[in-house]
């Protein structure tokens, strides 16, 4: 972490064209509410650290995500994510 930001290298096309493969993203810890369509790094139990777009918050306060590319896993495969598994919100992208 540098000045409150975490830096991640993106591997894969699941968020392309918004965030192409081999891009770098800067993320900042989320402290309160998250807007729909936000790009977030999440820590997934099966997939590890992944970058996805927030598409829904359900009645149980669980977060649902999906990718932007057909090559991405589905929101059903990702499943509901707890707030504590959100690493950070993307605030800047350096495209490859």
Tens of pLDDT, residue by residue over 17-70, are: 999 999 999 999 998 889 999 999 999 999 999 999 999 999 999 999 999 999
Residues 19, 57, 23: CA angle, nearest 5 degrees:
10
Q: Phi and psi for 6 in degrees, rounded to 5?
A: -110, 145
Band (pLDDT 50/70/90 cuts) for residue 1 is low
Distances (CA, A) of 77 to 9, 18, 50, 66: 23, 21, 13, 9
For residues 44 and 41, give the distance between their C-alpha atoms in angstroms, rounded to a whole number: 9
- Terminal CA-to-CA distance of the chain, rounded, Å? 21
């Amino acid at each position: 972490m540098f000045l409150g930001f975490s830096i991640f290298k993106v591997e894969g096309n699941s968020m392309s064209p918004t965030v192409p493969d081999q891009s770098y993203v800067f993320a900042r810890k989320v402290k309160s509410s998250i807007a729909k369509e936000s790009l977030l790094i999440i820590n997934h139990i099966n997939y590890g650290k992944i970058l996805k777009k927030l598409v829904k918050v359900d009645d149980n306060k669980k977060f649902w995500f999906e990718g932007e590319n057909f090559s991405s896993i589905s929101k059903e495969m990702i499943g509901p994510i707890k707030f504590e598994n959100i690493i950070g919100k993307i605030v800047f992208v350096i495209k490859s």
